[in-house]
């Protein structure tokens, strides 16, 4: 194992034994009031926070390429001194910084976005620059390089030169108090010198030995000041493992809690109403739907509460599965509640369920924030009396004044759009009800191992019978007239269609075509004889309901809409989805919108229209839509492009943001961390073993919100 970096305090005194999280940053050498204020704004309050402020990358200054050794077309890192800097005028103005390292000169060139750089460089300043070098005659050039400031020539310190140098995230506020990478190196070195003995090991020794992990002290020292590239690798591996292990341990402890719970709402039979509902459906349930229903029924019969995630691509039939589960609960004497993230989706679920269950004598009730006070009070009374058997709503369901006398099943739709506490407040309306969470956003395996690792998972992986694949094409705006002529011809055949825009109305700051503007133009020109409706989030509730109902009933043939149409509207006769400014939509959102068509037996089309020059990311999104309609493939690509935090907003689930681990790149480490976490939770589900004291203390400090129902310690 590589040697540990030797750091000692200035006075040679033994470091105090206070824990790192109890040492304020003002006690660290070179951190005064101004710096402390800037650090607190960056989330750094204690010595522990500072040591966990990880470098964004490292420069190996023991192996930097000399300018005299450059080769054309290679990616290089050069450390040099600023010889000159300024704007070069001409046909193509550019900003040029000329660097020298004593063996030659290289010019760093910015052709755009350089105005903020004009006063950013000082002659004599040292820079580390990275990029692809090109030779033009006798001149070496790097276009738009990454760069980091290393200080002024003549300054020397063992932490800044001749080794692997950490480069830290920064901001204008931090740099204003000299906390660039150089400043961070100084204060982190001071922190380690004074408080290295306060670094307390958190992982049990048997886990470290099994997984061949370095100590936490070694990891924190070497992630900031690596003794070697191997030491840096081992340090990062340990710190990544820690982050993933804590996530998985939280899930494992939750899982143990769920295993010990008992419920009162046990389903004992499938009754006549459930059978009638299935027989009355105008279609046959798919094999996947039947399999999932068997899994749900087994959970509902169990003495333990169900905690199941139902995944299904857009249009796969999750809603009917949930409806059957709710009828099963009602037949066994319990209420069922369905919580949706938006009023428009809750309203659509309410209308769908009321229509499905009208002949079964089951009372369906709606409770949303947009209702009048009188309507809300009447709904609350129906719920409290037990008259309302199936209750559909939004966050209004979790208000304190809403009481359920016999809540047996909770269904949460598009559940990733709710926070942990919101979901739990609904579940707490009854002692341990069955919980079924639904998502139309397929979840990549790496995320299902983390955010949803404590749930049982059911997947509807089969489209309904008779469905044809939606033909998807991507065209630039020059094709728009031809696209709209095609749209008109399809509408004249009796089909229905959507035209979706990102905005509600024209904005001075945006060049987007707005839904309202397009709606008016369509009604005045080539679509004037086509019944056309407008749907967006700012319409009054009654108007939204009227438009949705008229489109669903076929009285409106063309619906111009914003993205509210991505959920809540199910029209089998709709065969065309045109998405204007498709480059402005996320990949998952595009897939959700496409799922609004292709729900009937006729061939359906999704037409993506883009405007202007696209970024490589936008091109990749649109090309992915053309290449595949597999929601799981799309989810994996979306995860790669956006990262897990963006993909599902992991903070909503009560998990701290990953600072060093990557769920995609570190999948093998994640699997190992999961195995160790579940093994430990099995042995010590409350973390009461004295050997786990440090782990328990760290866990409680950092996972307080998510631990509110996991009894630890």
pLDDT tens digits for range 386-422: 999 999 998 888 777 889 999 999 998 876 555 555 5
* 601 beta partners: none
DSSP designation for 377:
H
Residue scoring higher pLDDT (23 or 282): 23
For the ranges 10-24, 199-213, 448-462, 545-559, the lowest mean pLDDT is seen at 10-24
Token pair listed for 646: 């963006």
Task: Answer yes or no: is pLDDT of 676 > 70.
Answer: yes
Task: Answer yes or no: is pLDDT of 566 > 70.
Answer: no
* 476 beta partners: 610
Residues 565, 567, 569, 570, CA torsion sign: positive
Burial of 218 (0-12, 13-18, 19+ CB in 10 A): buried
Mean pLDDT calculated for residue range 317-340: 93
Listed in sequence order, the residues at least 6 apart from 69 whose beta carbon sits closer than 8 Å to its beta carbon are: 103
Q: Where are the extended beta strands (E) located within 513-648? A: 532-535, 558-561, 574-580, 605-610
DSSP designation for 56:
S
| Cβ count within 10 A of residue 679 | 14
Listed in sequence order, the residues at least 6 apart from 2 whose beta carbon sits closer than 8 Å to its beta carbon are: 222, 227, 228, 230, 231, 234
Mean pLDDT calculated for residue range 646-675: 72
**pLDDT for 5:** 36
Listed in sequence order, the residues at least 6 apart from 428 whose beta carbon sits closer than 8 Å to its beta carbon are: none
**pLDDT for 420:** 52
Q: Confidence class of residue 381 from pLDDT cuts 50, 70 and 90?
A: very high
**pLDDT for 421:** 53
**pLDDT for 325:** 97
* 81 beta partners: 100, 126
CA 168-172-176 angle, to 5 degrees, is 95
Phi, psi of 227 (to 5 degrees): -75, -25
Of residues 534, 532, 536, the one with CA closest to residue 556: 532
**pLDDT for 204:** 93
Mean pLDDT calculated for residue range 481-510: 80
Q: Where are the extended beta strands (E) located within 443-506? A: 456-460, 471-476, 496-500
DSSP designation for 652:
G
**pLDDT for 476:** 93
Of residues 104, 108, 141, the one with CA closest to residue 127: 108
Query: Distance between alpha carbon 506 and the CA centroid of its chain, in Å?
Result: 29
Burial of 657 (0-12, 13-18, 19+ CB in 10 A): exposed
Task: Report the SS3 class of residue 616.
Answer: helix
Spatial distance between the Cα atoms of 296 and 323, rounded to a whole number of angstroms: 12
Task: Report the SS3 class of residue 678.
Answer: helix
**pLDDT for 1:** 37
Spatial distance between the Cα atoms of 289 and 572, rounded to a whole number of angstroms: 19
Token pair listed for 684: 């010590």
* 140 beta partners: 106, 135
**pLDDT for 311:** 87
Residue whose entry in the numeric block shows the structure tokens 């400031």:
149
Spatial distance between the Cα atoms of 51 and 7, rounded to a whole number of angstroms: 14
CA distances from 699 to 3, 451, 686, 692 (A): 29, 17, 12, 10
pLDDT averaged over every residue in the chain: 83
Phi, psi of 409 (to 5 degrees): -140, 130
Burial of 475 (0-12, 13-18, 19+ CB in 10 A): middle
Over its C-alpha atoms, the chain yields an Rg (Å, rounded) of: 30
Of residues 493, 531, 537, 530, the one with CA closest to residue 516: 537
Residue whose entry in the numeric block shows the structure tokens 């599965």:
321
DSSP designation for 119:
T
Of residues 64, 176, 203, 350, the one with CA closest to residue 693: 203
Of residues 542, 551, 594, 588, the one with CA closest to residue 569: 551
Convert the pLDDT of each residue in 83-100 to its tens digit: 999 888 877 888 999 999
CA 91-92-95 angle, to 5 degrees, is 135
pTM for this model (two decimals): 0.64
Listed in sequence order, the residues at least 6 apart from 601 whose beta carbon sits closer than 8 Å to its beta carbon are: 466, 467, 468, 572
Phi, psi of 356 (to 5 degrees): -65, -40
Spatial distance between the Cα atoms of 235 and 166, rounded to a whole number of angstroms: 13
Token pair listed for 612: 């202007």
Mean pLDDT calculated for residue range 183-199: 92
């Amino acid at each position: 194992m590589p040697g540990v970096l030797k750091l000692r305090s200035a006075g040679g005194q033994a470091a105090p034994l206070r824990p790192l999280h109890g040492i304020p940053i003002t006690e660290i050498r070179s951190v005064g009031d101004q710096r402390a204020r800037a650090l607190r704004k960056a989330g750094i309050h204690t010595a522990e926070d500072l040591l966990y402020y990880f470098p964004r990358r490292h420069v190996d200054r023991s192996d930097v390429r000399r300018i005299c050794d450059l080769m054309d077309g290679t990616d290089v890192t050069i450390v040099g001194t600023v010889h000159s800097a300024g704007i070069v005028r001409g046909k193509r103005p550019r900003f040029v910084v000329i660097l020298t390292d004593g063996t030659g000169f290289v010019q760093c060139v910015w052709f755009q976005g350089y105005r903020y750089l004009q006063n950013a460089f000082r002659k004599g300043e040292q820079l580390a620059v990275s990029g692809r070098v090109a030779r033009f005659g006798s001149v070496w050039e790097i276009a738009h390089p990454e760069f980091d400031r290393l200080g002024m020539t003549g300054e020397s310190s063992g932490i800044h030169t001749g080794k692997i140098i950490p480069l830290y995230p920064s901001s204008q506020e931090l740099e204003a108090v000299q906390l660039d990478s150089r400043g961070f190196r100084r204060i982190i070195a001071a922190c380690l010198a004074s408080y290295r003995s306060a670094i307390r090991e958190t992982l049990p020794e048997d886990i470290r030995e099994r997984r061949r992990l370095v100590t936490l002290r070694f990891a924190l020292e070497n992630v900031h000041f690596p003794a070697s590239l191997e030491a840096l690798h081992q340090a990062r591996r340990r710190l990544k493992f820690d982050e993933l292990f804590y996530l998985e341990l939280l899930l494992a402890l939750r899982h143990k809690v769920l295993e010990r719970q008992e419920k009162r709402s046990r389903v004992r039979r499938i009754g006549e109403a459930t059978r009638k509902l299935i027989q009355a459906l105008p279609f046959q349930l798919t094999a996947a739907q039947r399999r999932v229903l068997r899994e749900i029924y087994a959970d509902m019969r169990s003495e333990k509460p169900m905690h199941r995630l139902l995944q299904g691509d857009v249009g796969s039939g999750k809603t009917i599965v949930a409806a059957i589960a709710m009828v099963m609960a009602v037949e066994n004497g319990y209420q069922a509640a369905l919580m949706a993230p938006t009023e428009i989706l809750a309203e659509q679920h309410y209308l769908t369920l009321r229509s499905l269950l009208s002949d079964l004598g089951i009372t369906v009730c709606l409770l949303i924030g947009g209702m009048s006070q009188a309507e809300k009070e009447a709904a609350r009374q129906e719920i409290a009396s037990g008259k309302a058997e199936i209750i559909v709503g939004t966050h209004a369901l979790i208000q304190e004044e809403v009481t359920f006398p016999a809540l047996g099943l909770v269904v949460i739709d598009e559940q990733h759009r709710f926070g942990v506490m919101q979901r739990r407040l609904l579940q707490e309306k009854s002692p341990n009800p069955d919980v079924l969470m639904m998502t139309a956003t397929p979840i990549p395996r790496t995320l299902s191992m983390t955010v949803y690792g404590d749930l049982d998972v059911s997947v509807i992986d089969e489209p309904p019978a008779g469905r044809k694949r939606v033909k998807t094409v991507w065209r630039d705006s020059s094709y728009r007239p031809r696209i709209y002529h095609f749209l008109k011809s399809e509408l004249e055949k009796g089909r229905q269609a959507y035209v979706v825009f990102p905005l509600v109305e024209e904005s001075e700051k945006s060049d987007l075509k707005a839904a309202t503007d397009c709606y008016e133009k369509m009604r005045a020109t080539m679509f004037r004889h086509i019944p056309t409706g407008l749907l967006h989030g700012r319409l009054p509730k009654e108007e939204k309901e009227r438009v949705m109902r008229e489109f669903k009933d076929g009285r409106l043939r063309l619906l111009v809409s914003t993205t509210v149409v991505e959920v809540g509207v199910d029209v089998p006769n709709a065969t065309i989805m045109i998405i204007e400014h498709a480059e402005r939509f996320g990949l998952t959102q595009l897939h959700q919108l496409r799922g609004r068509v292709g729900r009937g037996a006729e061939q359906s089309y999704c037409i993506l229209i883009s405007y202007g020059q696209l970024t490589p990311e936008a091109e990749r999104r649109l090309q992915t839509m053309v290449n595949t309609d597999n929601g799981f493939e799309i989810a994996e690509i979306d995860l790669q492009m956006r990262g897990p935090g963006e993909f599902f907003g992991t903070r909503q689930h009560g998990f701290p943001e990953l600072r060093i681990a990557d769920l995609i790149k570190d999948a093998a480490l994640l699997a190992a961390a999961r195995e160790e976490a579940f093994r430990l939770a099995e042995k010590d589900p409350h973390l009461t073993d004295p050997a786990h004291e440090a782990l328990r203390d760290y866990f409680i400090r950092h996972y307080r919100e998510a631990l509110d129902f996991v009894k630890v310690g």
